[in-house]
Structure 1
Amino acid sequence: MDAPVVGLTTYRQQAAWGVWNTRADLLPTEYAAAVEVAGGVPVLLPPVGSPGAAARVVATIDALVVSGGADVDPGQYGAAPHERTAGWHPERDAWELALLTAAEAAGLPVLGICRGMQLMAVHAGGTLDQHTPDLVGHETHSPGGDAYGTVEVATEPGSRLAALVGAEVEVSCHHHQSVATHPGFTAVARAADGTLEAMEAAGERYCLAVQWHPETRVEIGLMAGLVAAARDHSDSRG
């Protein structure tokens, strides 16, 4: 059986490696490694501005991961920037929103990770809380720098998420923003402080998003579920 192809959205920013220090399209290796371990073939999807490019890409992949990254432009959900909101990338926002539109039209399986969950909520017409510590009174979800926060998450019984990861799961988080409203999605996991940690769409299509970073813990459940859905999608297209 051919392994399904899973597209992973990427950063586009200044980066340094070897003798180079230049703009680059990149993504932490853990994402691609998690797809491969789950039985998929990872393909990186850097931002593209050409009309129709998103639909063309979606037609050639079997599933989509909207990866973590910078804050979403508050203008995308009609808000003024919070003083701690910074560094958004309009070209990436536009590309990933176009990919989500094309994925929905094609019935493509989708997994959102961290920023990916936030962008999926915005794509659906939802809004974000721009600085979660203002709501919960602590920095556990993003301790600072390159450190991940450790958060205990309770999942909703009967949800797709619970079937994949269990009733409770310890996760690695790195986010200072979170989803406030999410039309069309059901809340399926929360942290003890009430922060929404996962949401999923109703129906047979795998359309799930988590606020944490499963790729950092070799957490096979979510990615295995995505790859299984990708294989089914590939089979349905022949």
Structure 2
Amino acid sequence: MPRKTLIGITPDINDIQAPETEYVVRRNYADAVLQARGLPIILPFGADTDAYLNTIDGLLVTGGMFDIDPQLYRQAARMQYVVKPERTAFEKALIEGARRRGMPILGICNGMQLLAVCLGGELVQDIPSEVRGALEHKPTHSATITQHQVEVVSQSRHLQLAAGTAYAVNSVHHQSVLSSDAYDVLAVASDSVIEAIEANDGGFAVGVQWHLEYCASQIDDAFWSGFLGAAREYSSRIR
């Protein structure tokens, strides 16, 4: 029986104090990987990230209701943020290690923002106060409902996306990625907020600002199939 393609998924932790602290990750991240014919593996926080990277075939960095410390992208904080240093340090080490190996990486929401930072980019710290005429990117309704459109603006090196096409997507974020020479912009919203990026060199490293795991948009399958396809290719090359 062929070996399943293993996708490592980064979890969050709740705020219950030890020893009752729990790792938490929404089921739909794992379900989306299973639907794309991968085998999801949750990655508890730990210093030995190489042990994880020696085992998995692709890295999925999930979203979360917190922000990345602006010091990590060479900015001073312009407001008070909720940060999670332990989680961010763990995910950063995984991303950097995966990049060195050429392992496929998919970052969703906060995961896209951290991927951009690891590649050398910076962030818009607060869309409502920094982007003139911004759309509502953090609505109160469920992420199962699409919120605004994005337009594919460039050809991807790894994904089957048609430039010039537009799709309605779900959206739950107040920060976003700034453009950088370190990655290509794949999709933007009509207010210029960057919604998808791809590293412009090396292996598959893609970030998506909306929440692919809900499979609410017609464009989502292109990202899941591209990511899993890249992970299968990576596995066949090194295993």
**Map of 1:13 onto structure 2:** 14
Given residue 156 of structure 2, which amino acid in structure 1 is its aligned partner? S
**Map of 2:232 onto structure 1:** 231
Residue 72 of structure 1, aligned match among 48, 55, 68: 68
**Map of 2:212 onto structure 1:** 214
Unaligned runs of 5+ in 2: none
Listed as ranges, the matches of 1:125-140 within 5 Å are 125-134=120-129, 135-138=131-134, 140=136
2:89 is the alignment partner of 1:94: yes
**Map of 2:27 onto structure 1:** 29
**Structure with the higher strand share, 1 or 2:** 1
Residue 113 of structure 2, aligned match among 118, 122, 126: 118
Given the superposition, is the C-alpha separation of residues 139 and 154 from structure 1 closer, same or farther in structure 2, using an over 3 Å criterion? closer
**Map of 1:107 onto structure 2:** 102
- SS of 2:95's partner is helix
- After superposing on structure 2, the runs of 4+ consecutive aligned residues of structure 1 that deviate more than 4 Å are 145-149
2:4 is the alignment partner of 1:3: yes
Residue 77 of structure 2, aligned match among 56, 62, 81: 81
**Map of 2:155 onto structure 1:** 158
Query: Hey, what's the Cα distance between the residues in 1 that align with 2:203 and 2:92?
Result: 18
Query: Hey, what's the Cα distance between the residues in 1 that align with 2:12 and 2:116?
Result: 19
Given the superposition, is the C-alpha separation of residues 144 and 87 from structure 1 closer, same or farther in structure 2, using an over 3 Å criterion? farther
Given residue 54 of structure 2, which amino acid in structure 1 is its aligned partner? A
**Map of 1:18 onto structure 2:** none
1:99-128 CA-to-partner distances (Å, cap 9, x unmatched) read: 011101111000110101110111122211
Given the superposition, is the C-alpha separation of residues 139 and 188 from structure 1 closer, same or farther in structure 2, using an over 3 Å criterion? closer
Q: CA RMSD in A?
A: 2.3
Give yes or no for contact 2:149–2:169 (8 Å, CA) kept in 1. Answer: yes
Listed as ranges, the matches of 1:179-218 within 5 Å are 179-203=177-201, 205-217=203-215
Give yes or no for contact 2:62–2:107 (8 Å, CA) kept in 1. Answer: yes
Given the superposition, is the C-alpha separation of residues 165 and 216 from structure 1 closer, same or farther in structure 2, using an over 3 Å criterion? farther
Q: What is the Cα deviation at residue 156 of structure 1? A: 2.3
Unaligned runs of 5+ in 1: 16-20
Given the superposition, is the C-alpha separation of residues 149 and 96 from structure 1 closer, same or farther in structure 2, using an over 3 Å criterion? same
Bigger mean CA deviation after superposition, 213-222 or 122-131: 213-222
- SS of 1:182's partner is coil
Q: What is the Cα deviation at residue 138 of structure 1? A: 4.4
TM-score normalised according to structure 2 size: 0.88
1:24-79 CA-to-partner distances (Å, cap 9, x unmatched) read: 1111111000000000000111322x2xx112211110000111012111121232
Given the superposition, is the C-alpha separation of residues 188 and 161 from structure 1 closer, same or farther in structure 2, using an over 3 Å criterion? farther
2:137 is the alignment partner of 1:141: yes
Given residue 23 of structure 1, which amino acid in structure 2 is its aligned partner? T
Give yes or no for contact 1:10–1:26 (8 Å, CA) kept in 2. Answer: yes
Listed as ranges, the matches of 1:30-49 within 5 Å are 30-48=28-46
Q: What is the Cα deviation at residue 163 of structure 1? A: 1.4
**Map of 2:49 onto structure 1:** 54
Give yes or no for contact 1:156–1:162 (8 Å, CA) kept in 2. Answer: no
